[in-house]
Structure 1
Amino acid sequence: MGLLSQGSPLNWEETKKYADHVRKHGIVQFLNIYNKVKERQKDVLLWGDEVEYMLIEMDEKNEKVRLVLNGGEVLETLQDKGEKTNPNHPTLWRPEYGSYMIEGTPGQPYGGTMSEFNTVEDNMGKRRREASSVLNKNETLATITSFPRLGCPGFTQPEYNPTPVEKGVSKSLFFPDEAINRHPRFSTLTRNIRHRRGEKVVINVPIFKDKCTPSPFVEKFPEDDGEAARAALPDHIYMDAMGFGMGNCCLQVTFQACSIEEARYLYDQLATFCPIVMALSAASPFYRGYVSDIDCRWGVISASVDDRTGEERGLEPLKSNKFRILKSRYDSIDSYLSSCGDKYNDIDLTIDEEINKELLDAGIDKLLAQHIAHLFIRDPLSLFEEKIHLDDENESDHFENLQSTNWQTMRFKPPPPNSDIGWRVEFRPMEVQLTDFENSAYVVFIVLLTRVILSYKLDFLIPLSKVDENMKAAQERNAVQEGMFYFRKDIYKGCNPVLDSSSAAQNGLDSEGDHYILMSIDTIINGKEGVFQGLIPILNCYLENMEVDVDTRCTILNYLKLIKRRASGELMTMAKWMREFVDKHTQYKQDSVITDKINYDLLRKCDSIAKGEERCPELIGDPVNRGK
């Protein structure tokens, strides 16, 4: 979740006074880090995953499932038993936005040897068992992306009512403040986003129109003071709090590159895969007790932290604000960082010109300078009184304040001051899956892709505007089977940063004259003769040329088999599987409503599959053939 400072949080008006101070010193801190480690080479290729979990209670008597708001206590217990007792403990636990959420990572990063792939699922299993062991009776650990009845009456344990008209941080009609993590960072972010924006956040998700869904679908909100009525769109599910986005779970992977150049190259290349892998991992079709017409959480989470004012969103002329800002601070990347990517930077990039000039004058190259100057058009959202005046030579809190609240599909991460950590990139768009096997498969797939990209010097870059179009397509219902995505055909020519491709890009060509064309996910992943050879065949070719022990090879091939079959439609995505479960439920009335009973049966089934008590061949395949 980014920077977690301790201290006395400032409200928005106080934070606003220090915004320029934070930006000024954030740039100084970045330059200090950059100048110390810009020449650093030969860092080891390390990587690690992050899995977010929900704590849920199964109420068998009432056939109801609730989110348990004791994540803080669970986290403290896990840390006391783990890293605080043994610095080499195999798991690490961290807080997340919801007070019903925790995040688990490996205790130490994985290394560059192929045999590491054989330990990923084992470590995820350790995390699940470890956290499950400290839960109360009838409680369980769930890796689901979105809780289907988040924001419905009585969705928490203990039960709390929202406080839309009283003093509080979110003032939501649906989401009680008690469901927010008690660390002051989280409530401060929530309150300050609302205050900076000048109103509550607005999230509208298209509802899935089933046979008996009202048309138009229009909700009435008894507690509303008029704000929801103005904001809610017909035929949409309306949500009004940061928790509806940041209260979802995801799966992320961070890589340490051997140099800053390699990190920038990986950042760009992986950015083109973000929409593809997001669609492949689609797992969130339900919101606030309704069936939606989307399969991924990305647009929801983007809107949930959109602190832009009306001026910044282009609804009013600029008067109090400096910039017209085209996206939420949680969105897809806006510029490539490598020299290969420069010619494909075709998105209007809003930058702080003063900061950009300061960086250029300090010797930062154009691409990195504009990246930082773009991040720094934002204001700090969470500031602690004790953290205003810092030692810029040895601290980076002001830089991280803005860096870590620009939540993009990829994150470029400079090393912390005075550490042995290298330049890193974080791959952020994946939805979390039900089982450790599935989560391991997606993680290993992405890590293998980085190995192949670096080994073969592959080039997947296309104009960034096309990546944005792919992001929109990836969130649509059943995008894996029905969506079409811009993708580059010839990936072996490598990049030529010198050639100008502005005219070629307009014609759907890259600078070497090769087409990037619309492809299905099946074609991108599995290949199609005469169109594209496919990522899985490329990975298989790479594996054949590597020395890999039999166990590891078997494990990797099983993971790739899952990805291959999901891409072809032979296996369902989590989102599709959940939709079919609800559709076939005896209580479902084809009205797009997920009742407590439907939710209970769905999550009980999910829990059973996650624990290996029940098979689910349509989602995971036949476990007999997994080699596990």
Structure 2
Amino acid sequence: MGLLSQGSPLSWEETKRHADHVRRHGILQFLHIYHAVKDRHKDVLKWGDEVEYMLVSFDHENKKVRLVLSGEKVLETLQEKGERTNPNHPTLWRPEYGSYMIEGTPGQPYGGTMSEFNTVEANMRKRRKEATSVLEENQAVCTITSFPRLGCPGFTLPEFKPNPVEGGASKSLFFPDEAINKHPRFRRGEKVVINVPIFKDKNTPSPFIETFPEGDEASRSSKPDHIYMDAMGFGMGNCCLQVTFQACSISEARYLYDQLATICPLFAASPFYRGYVSDIDCRWGVISASVDDRTREERGLEPLKNNNYRISKSRYDSIDSYLSKCGEKYNDIDLTIDKEIYEQLLQEGIDHLLAQHVAHLFIRDPLTLFEEKIHLDDANESDHFENIQSTNWQTMRFKPPPPNSDIGWRVEFRPMEVQLTDFENSAYVVFVVLLTRVILSYKLDFLIPLSKVDENMKVAQKRDAVLQGMFYFRKDICKGGNAVVDGCGKAQNSMELAAEEYTLMSIDTIINGKEGVFPGLIPILNCYLENMEVDVDTRCSILNYLKLIKKRASGELMTVAKWMREFIGNHPDYKQDSVITDEMNYSLILKCNQIANELCECPELLGSAFRKVKYSGSKTDSSN
């Protein structure tokens, strides 16, 4: 979510007055960290996942499900029962953007042994059971990316009406301020504009046009045949799955940052928005638009007067530059940087690639500032640096160590959509972490021009892109041969962007391989496993996880997005008009909760790999 501190939040106007102070001291804090730990190496692999949950309440009598605005209360109870009582508690709980959301992580990071992979799912199960235990009757924690009727009338419990007039925080026509966590964050000066293409079913009006109050911004900003949304909550109010891992050194962290940036999402899980069936399967474009706080000047709509830069992307988007030396020749995107900060970093001994990365992050303003956190000790605190760093929500995040800690250089992988079950979420997390081990062990090279990575992200969001989309990917990932982390072997000697290095591939080819075209990531992971000493239980777990990834890539198993589409499409109340009613939403979320708690099977989504061990803690049995 970004840095969340405790204290008295300042208004946006007050925060803006301190923006230069935050940037200036943020850079000083980064320099203190860098000089203290730039030569640190031989850190062992430690890693952890973050799962975001929605709190829902089922009204079985009226067949409705709503989002419960009790995140703060639930969080307080979980923390009191957990980490405050026992510092070694196996789970940690943190706030999220929505007041109906919470975030759960392992209490301690996982280690570098293969057996750690066999503990991930158990910890996720523990989190789900722990959170469920403090809920009221007929309430549940759901790992769904996007609540289908988010922004529809009466979608919260208790019910609040939006406040689109002056005085409201979001000024949304659909999203009440009460559904937002207390930390305010925005600076655009006008509402965001999100237009998602609607899925054109048999009875969907053509053109599909919504009617809004005359003179309202919505009447000017909404597009025909699109679902219109107007608040940060429509993106940041979605749930995701992320994984962070510690590298052995800064150079290894930079190398992994670059390599993982090229991995296309296989995580489609969010086809519904504001009560409609959309024509996209992923939330990425929605969340990117929802936090696009660039002013009209920064978006190039007006001449620069009050702002310093034209900025090409939202805060939430794919990365804008590679960090490793082997990635430098593939940096083919124009990068807007703060030149003064860039020169300052160079003078302090920071190399060109890292200096431009930080100087690019720092063209942004801080979004939130707390009165108690304005004046800090730059040598021992990093809140100002993190204020900017953690509100650049990109596909990858390069994370310097906190000051005076035993934590090393880390990388965060961020594009995943949360899945329905702990089994699926564990599978995706293990897949990514295992892939980092293989990249380093085999010195693999996935790099392609960054502009092609951007194109891949756009394709990945389209409906059924997993089966229908074609993605740019490097053909010979072992071309570097003797590549090392601090260099890049043979690949570094050629500075031309040779189009012959990459080609368009399907997700099936990238994941499972195709003879004569590409070896496939799963076969490479299997080869790695065969050469490792792994106990039988762990090996079985990993192979089950990889089987899920393999079968979803091939189409043998559905993605969550496709399964949800078919569920709604086959619902007896669905009129083939792209509309999701309260009762349809109730049926879908109830089914999702039953699957997550292993109260029913779903072979088309999970196959036979899903282990059927009943939870004891679900409070939402449909027989109620």
TM-score category, normalised to shorter length: over 0.9
Distance 1:625 1:164, change over 3 A: closer
Structure 1 residues 255-404: aligned runs within 5 Å: 255-273=245-263, 276=264, 278=265, 280-404=266-390
Structure 1 residues 342-491: aligned runs within 5 Å: 342-491=328-477
User: Structure 1 regions of 5+ residues with no counterpart?
Assistant: 510-514
Query: For residues 547-594 of structure 1, what are the alpha-carbon distances to aligned partners after superposition, in whole Å with 9 as ceiling and x for unaligned?
Result: 001110000000000000000000000000000011111110111000
Corresponding residue of 1:210: 201
Corresponding residue of 2:111: 111
Query: For residues 112-167 of structure 1, what are the alpha-carbon distances to aligned partners after superposition, in whole Å with 9 as ceiling and x for unaligned?
Result: 00000111100000000000011000101100000000000000000000011141
Structure 1 residues 571-610: aligned runs within 5 Å: 571-610=557-596
Tell whether 2:493 aligns with 1:499: yes
Tell whether 2:514 aligns with 1:528: yes
> Counterparts of 2:461 and 2:281 in 1: how far apart (Å)?
6
Corresponding residue of 1:45: 45
2:414 counterpart SS class: strand
Q: Percent identity?
A: 80
Contact 2:55 2:67 in 1 (8 A): yes
Contact 1:289 1:595 in 2 (8 A): yes
> Counterparts of 1:354 and 1:121 in 2: how far apart (Å)?
47
> How many residues are matched?
606
1:408 counterpart SS class: coil
> Counterparts of 2:112 and 2:64 in 1: how far apart (Å)?
45
Deviation, 1:20, is: 1.1
2:445 counterpart SS class: coil
Deviation, 1:12, is: 2.0
1:600 counterpart SS class: helix
Distance 1:366 1:624, change over 3 A: closer
Contact 2:19 2:365 in 1 (8 A): yes
Deviation, 1:7, is: 2.2
> Counterparts of 2:2 and 2:242 in 1: how far apart (Å)?
13
> Counterparts of 2:283 and 2:396 in 1: how far apart (Å)?
16
Corresponding residue of 2:189: 198
Tell whether 2:528 aligns with 1:542: yes
1:419 counterpart SS class: coil
Structure 1 residues 119-268: aligned runs within 5 Å: 119-182=119-182, 185=183, 188-189=184-185, 193=186, 196-222=187-213, 225-268=215-258
Contact 2:423 2:610 in 1 (8 A): no
> Counterparts of 1:500 and 1:545 in 2: how far apart (Å)?
32
Deviation, 1:13, is: 2.0
> Counterparts of 2:433 and 2:611 in 1: how far apart (Å)?
23
Deviation, 1:311, is: 1.2
Contact 2:244 2:412 in 1 (8 A): yes
> Counterparts of 2:206 and 2:389 in 1: how far apart (Å)?
43
> Counterparts of 1:53 and 1:409 in 2: how far apart (Å)?
20
Distance 1:220 1:627, change over 3 A: closer
TM-score w.r.t. structure 1 length?
0.95
> Counterparts of 1:358 and 1:168 in 2: how far apart (Å)?
40
Query: For residues 363-410 of structure 1, what are the alpha-carbon distances to aligned partners after superposition, in whole Å with 9 as ceiling and x for unaligned?
Result: 000000000000001111111122111111111111111001000000
> Counterparts of 1:588 and 1:332 in 2: how far apart (Å)?
36
Contact 2:598 2:613 in 1 (8 A): no
Q: Which amino acid aligns with 2:221?
A: A
> Counterparts of 1:133 and 1:560 in 2: how far apart (Å)?
31
Deviation, 1:225, is: 4.5
Contact 2:270 2:283 in 1 (8 A): yes
Select between 1-10 and 35-44 the one with higher mean Cα deviation: 1-10
Deviation, 1:318, is: 1.6
2:57 counterpart SS class: strand
Stretches of 4+ moved more than 4 A in 1? 623-628
> Counterparts of 1:225 and 1:8 in 2: how far apart (Å)?
36
TM-score w.r.t. structure 2 length?
0.96
2:243 counterpart SS class: strand
